[in-house]
A and B are shown apart, each in its own frame.
Chain A
Amino acid sequence: MTTQTAPLISIRGLVKAYDAFTVLHGIDLDIAEGEVVCVIGPSGSGKSTLIRCINHLEAFSPDSTITVDGIRVEPGKALAQVRAEVGMVFQSFNLFPHMSVVRNVMLAPMRVRGTSAAEAERKARELLARVGIAEQADKFPGQLSGGQQQRVAIARALAMEPKVLLFDEPTSALDPEMVGEVLDVMRQLAGTGVTMVVVTHEMGFARQVADRVIFMDGGRLVEAGTPQEIFDRPSHERTRGFLRAVLNH
C-alpha cells in the first residue's frame, strides 16, 4: 500500500473576506472519504463560514481552491454537481413549510436527479423511518417539534445520497431535551461510512463520534487531531482556554 487515495474534500488557502473584515485567513484542510470531522471553536471563529464555503453558499476568494471529489467548487455549471453530492443540515432546519414532510424529502431527487415520484416517495418514507419519524410523513413541518424537524432535514439531505454531509450547528436551535434524538441519528449516520463535517458545540458528541477534531479561532485552523489529542492533550494555549471555558461551566 504505497498509494494513498486522494482526499474527498481538499481545501487550499481558503480566504474569505468581507470589505474590510477577513473571516478566514487561509485554511488548508483535507478530508478523506468516510471521515467524520467535528469543527469546534468560539463563536465568530469562522467554523460555519468554513463549511458553507464547501458547497459555495458563501463565495470565497478566487485565489483559494476547494475541490470535492475532484470537482472544483466555483460558480458555474459544475456547482450544481457539487451541491448534489454535498448534503447540508442547517441550524434553523430550513424545511419547506408549504410542503408535507414527505414532499420535502422527495423534492430534490425528483428535480435534480429526475427520480420518478413513486420511487422518490418510497425512498423518502424509508429515510423517514430510518430517522425515526415515519408516522409524521404526511404532516407539515410546522406541526413537528424542533427535533423532529431537524431529523426531517437530515432525511432530506440523505435523499440525494450525498457523498458528504455538512452539519452547521445542527442542535444549537433545539430545546435541550431534543438535542439527544438528533445526535443519535447523526451518531448512527457516522457508522454508515458517509463523510461528515460537523460544526458543533456538543463536545461530548465530538469526542465520541469524530475521527478528527478541528479547533478554529479567529478565522484560523489552530489545531487538528484525534478527539483524544484535542480534548486530553491540546497543544495550543487557545485550545486549552476554549476547552476550559466550555467544559467547566
Chain B
Amino acid sequence: MNLLNTFFNGPVLLASLPQLLQGLLVTLQIGITSIICGLIGGLFLSVTRLYAPGFARGLIRVYIDIFRSIPLLVLLIVVYYALPFVGIRLSPFLSAVTALSLVSAAYTAEIFRAGIEAIPKGQFEASAALGLSNRHTMVDVVLPQAIRIVIPPLTNNCINVLKDTALASVVAMPDLLKQATQAQALSANPTPLIGAALIYVALLWPMVAIVGRLEKHFSRGRS
C-alpha cells in the first residue's frame, strides 16, 4: 500500500496533470521543430554530398561524423552555456532545437544517403540517357523510390529526437521531464515522474510499433 501511495498516488497525479500536459506540449514543440529542421538539413546534406565537388563533399562528411560522435547533452550545454561567450545567446527553446537539429540532420543525411545508394545504378543511367537534369533525376526518379526505403529508419530517428528532447530540461526548458521534476519537488512525491514516464511511453509506443510493422512490410516487398 505504501508503494502505491508513493509511486502511483492518484490525487498527486491529478494535481500535477495540467502541468505535465503543458510540459508535453513544449516537448512536442521542440521535438517536431527539430525533426522538421533535421529532415530538411539531412536531405540537403545527402543530396549535396552526392553532387558537390570533392571539397564540399569532404566538409559534409566531417560534419556528419562530428555530429554523430558528439554526445547530445554535451552539444546542448556547449550551445547554451558556451556560445554566449562569443556573443551568441540563444533561448532555452532555440538552444534545444539547434542542438537536436544539428545532430538529427547528421543522422538523417546518413539515412538518405543509404536510401539513395540503394537505388539501382540503372535508374540514374536511364535518367541521364533521357537528358533529365540532376534535379529532376532526384525529384522524379530517385527520391520517390528512396522514400520507401528510408521511412522505417527515418521514423526511428524521429523517435530518438522525441526522446532526446528530455535533455532540454537541463537548460531550464519547461518540457515534460522538467515539469515532472518540478511537480515532484512541489508535492514531495515521485508520482509525477511516473506520470511523465507513462506519457513518454504512450506517445512513443505507437511509433515504435509502426516502425516494426513498416520494417516487416518493406522487407517482404523486397524479396
Which of A80, A84, A97, A111 gathers most chain B CB within 10 Å? A111
CB distance from A24 to the nearest CB of B (A): 18
Contact yes or no, A156 B122, CB < 8 A? no
Does A108 reach chain B (CB closer than 8 Å)?
yes
Does B206 reach chain A (CB closer than 8 Å)?
no
Given A84-B131, A111-B136, A112-B132, check contact A90 B145 (CB 8 Å). no
Residues on the B chain within 8 Å of A88, using CB: 126, 129
The size class of the interface chain B forms with chain A is 10 to 19
Contact mask for chain B residues 181-193; partner A; CB cutoff 8 A; 1 contact, 0 none:
0000000000000
Given A96-B141, A98-B144, A107-B140, check contact A90 B132 (CB 8 Å). no
CA distance A84 to B133 in the complex (A): 11
Does A238 reach chain B (CB closer than 8 Å)?
no
Q: Which chain A residue shows the least CB distance to B133?
A: A80
Interface size on A, residues (CB 8 A): 24
CA distance A81 to B128 in the complex (A): 11
Does A83 reach chain B (CB closer than 8 Å)?
yes
Does B6 reach chain A (CB closer than 8 Å)?
no
| Selected contact of B122 from candidates A81, A94, A108, A157, CB within 8 Å | A94
Does B5 reach chain A (CB closer than 8 Å)?
no
CB distance from A45 to the nearest CB of B (A): 21
| Selected contact of A92 from candidates B122, B132, B133, B141, CB within 8 Å | B122
Contact yes or no, B131 A80, CB < 8 A? yes
CB distance from A245 to the nearest CB of B (A): 29
Residues on the A chain within 8 Å of B122, using CB: 90, 92, 94
CB distance from A221 to the nearest CB of B (A): 23
Q: Which chain A residue shows the least CB distance to B144?
A: A98
> A residues near B, CB below 8 A?
55, 57, 80-81, 83-84, 86-88, 90, 92, 94-98, 107-108, 111-112, 156-157, 160, 166
> B residues near A, CB below 8 A?
120, 122-123, 125-126, 128-133, 136, 140-141, 144-145
25 interchain pairs, CB-CB under 8 A: A57-B129, A80-B131, A80-B133, A83-B131, A84-B130, A88-B126, A90-B122, A90-B125, A90-B129, A92-B122, A94-B125, A94-B126, A96-B126, A96-B140, A96-B141, A97-B145, A98-B145, A108-B130, A108-B131, A108-B132, A111-B132, A111-B133, A112-B130, A157-B129, A160-B130
